[in-house]
Structure 1
Amino acid sequence: MKSNLLLKNMTIRFDREILHDVSYEFKSGYFYLLQGQSGIGKSSLLNVLGLLKRPIAGEVVYDGQNLWSLDDATQARVRLKDYGFVFQQHNLIDTMTLEENLKVPLLKSNLPEAKKAARVTAILDKLGLEDQRHMLPEDLSGGEDQRGAIGRALISGARIILADEPTNSLDSENARMFYEQLADFAHQQQAIVIVASHETLPEDYADQILTINNKQLVPQSGTKLFNRAIPESMAGQPTASAVTYRSDLSNKQALVYDNYQSAKKLPIGFLVIVTVMLAVASIVLNVPQILASQQQRELNQATDNSLFVTNNTLGTGTHQDLDPFRNLTIKQIQKIKKMPGITSVQPYYTFLSYGLTKENVRQPVPKGSNFSLGGKSYHVDETFSIQPIYKSDLTKKYLYADGHPAKVGTNFIVSQDFLEKNHISTKSAMGKQVAFEVYIPYAQYLSESELPTNNKKKVAIDGNIYVQQPLAATITGVYASSYPYDRSEQGNAFFMDDASMTTLLHSAIRANTTSDQIFQGFKQQPFGYSALRLEAKSYNDMVSMTKTIKSSSGFYSVSSVAQNVASLNATVQKAKNGTRQIALLFIMASMIALTILFSMNNRQRLREVGILKAVGFTTKDVRRILFWNAMKYGCYCFGGAALLIVVAATIMALRLGVHFIAIILTAFITNLALSFGVTIFASLWPIRLISRKDPIDIIKASYGQKRG
């Protein structure tokens, strides 16, 4: 379909006013020559006609619509399907082969790859460029470069070709061949060809010669009108009607474009430096937290986060559980259980080598206790106790002088101090059977007692009532003299699994009744607990819970044996903050380095961006192309940094004991965010303003050309 290109009331002003209120009609099937010396505005007029540079006022009308009233996407589509551009130099994208350059306009088309390839082959053959299809622009002659630009216009079915000083760098033979092909294209395809040149050679091929004089577009006399026959070599060229185009470049098409970059070389050295910085940042950012968490866990185990709470109703200064202390009520125990930071609450009680029973209530208290060990009898002057071994204590190997924690229900441990007091060696006790009479509480009597600090004031107390039974067990371990707990008023002697003691306690309670009066006139009640052993989540929770529990009752006595590691925690936090700052410096350095890299890269790609926009790609298309290019760089950075992280994590796991999986997972996630976040930011930030410029300004900026 024939359609003319109209200038209506056009005013063009850049550094100065070039045209003022000009109207002119360029007809289909004509070769027009804009002639005159450099600087009169020929290039500026071509740029306005080609939608490459916006005018001050006026319209460019084609197919019945003012092209300058269209949005960016629609203008790009017009340039893609209707326009072809041939610039003074650098017509082709220099990182692509000639074949790939010709494929670029078809990226947004609906054609399958096979038909795209066929079109490219046909165009190259008809332009005599078949042998140069795999060459880069730098390897082409000036004439081949210009003909390549014509091929790019032909392949999309362009109906308007604008050529700006196209033969400046060509010899006369190549120049004549070039103009012949342009004239043939105009006449055969009923297209519009407009050439701006100060040379006389194109006069031999032009149908109409124009010049700019007094800000007006003036036809010159002596214009030749050609009516040439259509050469066979130009017959059957593809037309725009055979192809439809997408309004926007898809992600898949952007990736295809990136694959076209045959000669694009990765800045390996620069990427290696950035990759190392990202890997270090990923590790440094996470290792302090992992080390601190690991140290905290080890610290929790080493310092013990347990609390010992007694209902010190007598107001004594001791932290031991004394027999007269009143029982904790169910309400008191439940309140403590619900306190935040507490993970477990277990009752504390002891079995004795001698205690008050209904059988010995009227008898004098014996002097000492007896036990046998490995078949040998021993006498102890004092009453000794059996204390519970709680499940969490089984992880604390540092408590042992000999032996080690065994399966729950099989542990029976003796104190090293108790053995030494009775002149028994540690080695001779291990694995031997110990036997003695044990007294197990099952009830309590209620009474009153004077306060140790005020004998005029009395408080309620309770005392345990026991039942006697034989006990025999095998020694499985020896607690060291450094055993830190001092909970029993009878001192540390023997220790038994809490579960085993609970079984014996409940059996004794079920087998005996509280109705048998020990002391006439004294009430009795079932056995209860006056002490609790609590487990806190962490050292910090233990410290805070000590204050909380004490403040909830004036009778509570709270003690712990954990070391004061507040200063150590502060040091860890300080180190963590310091390494975080170092990591942020690495991240900033990586971002700056990549921004510099992409700024340099995008500066080199200025011409490419300008050509893409001139060919018919929108600003959005250009950003999408650059985005996926950045994603590719991000993949390289992520993959390289991931390998370094694995190596570093392996070394740290072997040398520092850092949890391998923990550092890998956290560092990989950080690396993922940094690699892609930094590369995308660094890639798109330098191009943010460039992509908004008019295409011709971008192209000119790429080689410092001034307006003409």
Structure 2
Amino acid sequence: MKSNLLLKNMTIRFDREILHDVSYEFKSGYFYLLQGQSGIGKSSLLNVLGLLKRPIAGEVVYDGQNLWSLDDATQARVRLKDYGFVFQQHNLIDTMTLEENLKVPLLKSNLPEAKKAARVTAILDKLGLEDQRHMLPEDLSGGEDQRGAIGRALISGARIILADEPTNSLDSENARMFYEQLADFAHQQQAIVIVASHETLPEDYADQILTINNRQLVPQSGTKLFNRAIPESMAGQPTASAVTYRSDLSNKQALVYDNYQSAKKLPIGFLVIVTVMLAVASIVLNVPQILASQQQRELNQATDNSLFVTNNTLGTGSHQDLDPFRNLTIKQIQKIKKMPGITSVQPYYTFLSYGLTKENVRQPVPKGSNFSLGGKSYHVDETFSIQPIYKSDLTKKYLYANGHPAKVGTNFIVSQDFLEKNHISTKSAMGKQVAFEVYIPYAQYLSESELPTNNKKKVAIDGNIYVQQPLAATITGVYASNYPYDRSEQGNAFFMDDASMTTLLHSAIRANTTSDQIFQGFKQQPFGYSALRLEAKSYNDMVSMTKTIKSSSGFYSVSSVAQNVASLNATVQKAKNGTRQIALLFIMASMIALTILFSMNNRQRLREVGILKAVGFTTKDVRRILFWNAMKYGCYCFGGAALLIVVAATIMALRLGVHFIAIILTAFITNLALSFGVTIFASLWPIRLISRKDPIDIIKASYGQKRG
């Protein structure tokens, strides 16, 4: 069907007014030549006719509709179906072969792949380019490049071809061949061909010559009328009648387009840097949380239902059992026992590596204590203690870094912290005999002391009196460094069955009398307890009993593992926040790096984007193409970072004891989000700047860039 192209009341003004209120009809079957020197507005008129640049006023009418009133998608479909463009230079996409360039307009068509291939072959054959089908544009001559542009126009069945100074870079022979093919196409296909040129050569082929004079489109008199036979060489040329096109490029078609990029080179070095940054960010963001969660799980397991109560008569802020604390009375202990929710009450006390005895009361305090382990002697600068292991603690295997609970009466445990402080390995201590002088309390002296918070006020205190005796035992286990109880003011060193300690304590009390005065003028009393270890029925009872016990006396200090958990949670949260900030820095750096990468990449693709839009791809199509290109980069980044994460997770599992599966899963999920999130963001940012420009502006911006 013959359709003419109409200009109606067209006004074009860019830097200056080029046309003013011009109307003209371009008829099907004619070769039109817009002639004149550079700068008169020939290219501007072609851009308006081709829907590449919006005019100030007026209409471009084709098939009965004003093309400039259509939306972006419909205009793109018109350019794809009805228009073909031949620019001054750089007509083809640099990273695609000639064959791939010709396939581009057919991406949105309904043709099966076999027919697309046949159509491309037919066009290449008719244009004499069959031998160049696998060549890149940089390997084509100027004439082959221009003929390739004609082929791309013919492949979609274009009815209108617009060519802007198409033979500037061609020799005369190639230029004549080019114009002959354009004229044949116009006459045979009843198409409209409009060429803008300042040369005289196309006059030999033009049916109508036009020029711009005084802001009007002026036909030249004496030009020949269309009166030519259809050349035999163009017979059987494919037409557009059998082809329909999608309004939008599908995801599958966008991926096919990306596969056309035969010569596109990946920025390997840049991607390696970004991949490493993403892997580090994925690990840094998760490892501290995993380590903290791992420790927290262990501590949560240790959240038994026990409470530790001290008679804090000094009003200190400590939850430990300090020696000066006054004893709890029998009445106080009985009252606590009768409280609802309490299932058991056990006294708490410690044996020391040095204490006050009637023999050493006049001697200076020695500097530290000595012990032997496996026959080797060690010196400790501070006094250390032995604490009771209560029967319910024997079920808590998670307390151990090495070893496991034994039957009651045979357990003797050392803490991992104590071993490390004395440079003793955990494994080497197991099964070895430890021996030292132990000090067991049997009585107390009474005195007074100033309050730590008010030195003008004095309160009654009592201090332990000890008896010295040798102790030897076999190490049956090692408590881990995250041992949750902090009860002794001497810290955690050795632990012994409560039953065994009770036997030794009672034996010492029976064998010694309180009547022997240690300090003249100070009263003495039998040994008593200033701290208790309680068992609550449940975790909830433990929480509620904390308040109940505190309210029963202003001196009671109550602590539990639940408080340790809360304290750890606060510490963990601080660690998480700190590492999260570090990870965010890596993420931001990755995002900036990828944004730069895609900005550089898309800047190099300016010409490609401009050609795509001129050919008939919508802004949405361009975004989809570049989006899937970003997804490809995301896959590369994810895969590379995943390998690094596996290596790092293996090392951390071996060195730090991190759960391998936990770090892999969390880091992989983070890596997935970061790799694709960062690449998509980094690609969409420059895409939004490129894809919204008019096609001709994008192409012009690319002229100054180095080809290839």
State the TM-score, normalizing by the size of structure 1: 0.71
Alpha-carbon spacing, 1:499–1:156, altered in 2? closer, same or farther (3 Å): farther
CA contact (8 A) 2:300 2:565 kept: no
The answer to which of 415-424 and 45-54 deviates more is 415-424
Cα shift readout 1:302-343 (whole Å, capped 9, x = no counterpart): 898842469999999999999999999999999999999999
How many residues are treated as equivalent by the alignment? 708
The answer to which of 649-658 and 247-256 deviates more is 649-658
> Which residue in 1 is equivalent to 2:242?
242
The answer to which of 99-108 and 686-695 deviates more is 686-695
The answer to which of 458-467 and 493-502 deviates more is 458-467
> Which residue in 1 is equivalent to 2:106?
106
CA distance in 1, matches of 2:586, 2:418: 59
CA contact (8 A) 1:44 1:707 kept: no
Alpha-carbon spacing, 1:336–1:59, altered in 2? closer, same or farther (3 Å): farther
Alpha-carbon spacing, 1:308–1:189, altered in 2? closer, same or farther (3 Å): same
CA distance in 1, matches of 2:199, 2:705: 19
Alpha-carbon spacing, 1:686–1:472, altered in 2? closer, same or farther (3 Å): closer
Cα shift readout 1:155-212 (whole Å, capped 9, x = no counterpart): 1110000000000000011100000000000000000000000000000000000000
CA contact (8 A) 1:282 1:670 kept: yes
Alpha-carbon spacing, 1:631–1:18, altered in 2? closer, same or farther (3 Å): same
CA distance in 2, matches of 1:428, 1:35: 98
Alpha-carbon spacing, 1:599–1:334, altered in 2? closer, same or farther (3 Å): farther
Helix, strand or coil at the partner of 1:563: helix
CA distance in 1, matches of 2:171, 2:374: 115
The answer to which of 348-357 and 302-311 deviates more is 348-357
Alpha-carbon spacing, 1:126–1:395, altered in 2? closer, same or farther (3 Å): farther
Q: Give the root-mean-square deviation of aligned CA atoms.
A: 10.6
The answer to which of 432-441 and 307-316 deviates more is 432-441
The answer to which of 454-463 and 214-223 deviates more is 454-463
CA distance in 2, matches of 1:588, 1:459: 60
CA contact (8 A) 1:98 1:137 kept: yes
Helix, strand or coil at the partner of 1:163: strand
CA contact (8 A) 1:300 1:539 kept: no
The answer to which of 610-619 and 650-659 deviates more is 650-659
1:603 CA drift (Å): 0.4
CA contact (8 A) 1:447 1:462 kept: yes
CA contact (8 A) 1:81 1:158 kept: yes
1:229 CA drift (Å): 1.9
Alpha-carbon spacing, 1:397–1:234, altered in 2? closer, same or farther (3 Å): same
1:226 CA drift (Å): 4.0
1:550 CA drift (Å): 2.5
CA distance in 2, matches of 1:102, 1:365: 97
Cα shift readout 1:453-492 (whole Å, capped 9, x = no counterpart): 9999999999999999999999999999999999999999
1:371 CA drift (Å): 30
The answer to which of 445-454 and 257-266 deviates more is 445-454
Helix, strand or coil at the partner of 1:316: coil
Alpha-carbon spacing, 1:623–1:440, altered in 2? closer, same or farther (3 Å): same
CA contact (8 A) 1:320 1:488 kept: yes
Helix, strand or coil at the partner of 2:431: coil
The answer to which of 443-452 and 250-259 deviates more is 443-452
The answer to which of 579-588 and 156-165 deviates more is 579-588
1:369 CA drift (Å): 33
The answer to which of 652-661 and 510-519 deviates more is 510-519
1:392 CA drift (Å): 6.6
The answer to which of 469-478 and 643-652 deviates more is 469-478
Alpha-carbon spacing, 1:124–1:554, altered in 2? closer, same or farther (3 Å): same
Cα shift readout 1:104-137 (whole Å, capped 9, x = no counterpart): 1111111111111111111111111111111111
The answer to which of 301-310 and 133-142 deviates more is 301-310
1:82 CA drift (Å): 0.3
CA distance in 1, matches of 2:95, 2:421: 90
1:574 CA drift (Å): 4.6
CA contact (8 A) 1:315 1:451 kept: yes
Alpha-carbon spacing, 1:231–1:409, altered in 2? closer, same or farther (3 Å): farther
1:436 CA drift (Å): 29
Alpha-carbon spacing, 1:243–1:412, altered in 2? closer, same or farther (3 Å): same
CA contact (8 A) 1:700 1:706 kept: no
1:381 CA drift (Å): 34
1:50 CA drift (Å): 0.3
State the TM-score, normalizing by the size of structure 2: 0.71
Alpha-carbon spacing, 1:327–1:700, altered in 2? closer, same or farther (3 Å): same
1:385 CA drift (Å): 21
1:580 CA drift (Å): 2.3
CA contact (8 A) 1:323 1:462 kept: yes
Alpha-carbon spacing, 1:165–1:340, altered in 2? closer, same or farther (3 Å): farther
CA distance in 2, matches of 1:179, 1:159: 17
CA distance in 1, matches of 2:25, 2:420: 118
CA contact (8 A) 1:28 1:192 kept: yes
CA distance in 1, matches of 2:416, 2:96: 83
CA contact (8 A) 2:437 2:470 kept: yes
Helix, strand or coil at the partner of 1:504: helix
CA distance in 1, matches of 2:500, 2:625: 72
CA distance in 2, matches of 1:217, 1:339: 106
Alpha-carbon spacing, 1:409–1:680, altered in 2? closer, same or farther (3 Å): farther
1:684 CA drift (Å): 1.2
Alpha-carbon spacing, 1:249–1:707, altered in 2? closer, same or farther (3 Å): closer
The answer to which of 186-195 and 507-516 deviates more is 507-516
Alpha-carbon spacing, 1:503–1:699, altered in 2? closer, same or farther (3 Å): farther
The answer to which of 659-668 and 259-268 deviates more is 659-668
Alpha-carbon spacing, 1:625–1:366, altered in 2? closer, same or farther (3 Å): closer
CA contact (8 A) 1:384 1:491 kept: yes
CA distance in 1, matches of 2:16, 2:417: 104
CA contact (8 A) 2:414 2:494 kept: yes
CA distance in 2, matches of 1:74, 1:424: 80
CA contact (8 A) 1:610 1:698 kept: yes
1:656 CA drift (Å): 1.7
1:288 CA drift (Å): 1.8
1:393 CA drift (Å): 2.3
Alpha-carbon spacing, 1:158–1:417, altered in 2? closer, same or farther (3 Å): closer
CA distance in 1, matches of 2:377, 2:127: 116
The answer to which of 169-178 and 225-234 deviates more is 225-234
1:690 CA drift (Å): 1.8
1:576 CA drift (Å): 3.8
The answer to which of 372-381 and 252-261 deviates more is 372-381
Cα shift readout 1:573-623 (whole Å, capped 9, x = no counterpart): 554433322221111111111111110000010011100000001001100
The answer to which of 574-583 and 698-707 deviates more is 698-707
Q: Which runs of 5+ in 1 are unaligned?
A: none
Helix, strand or coil at the partner of 1:584: helix
CA contact (8 A) 2:29 2:226 kept: no
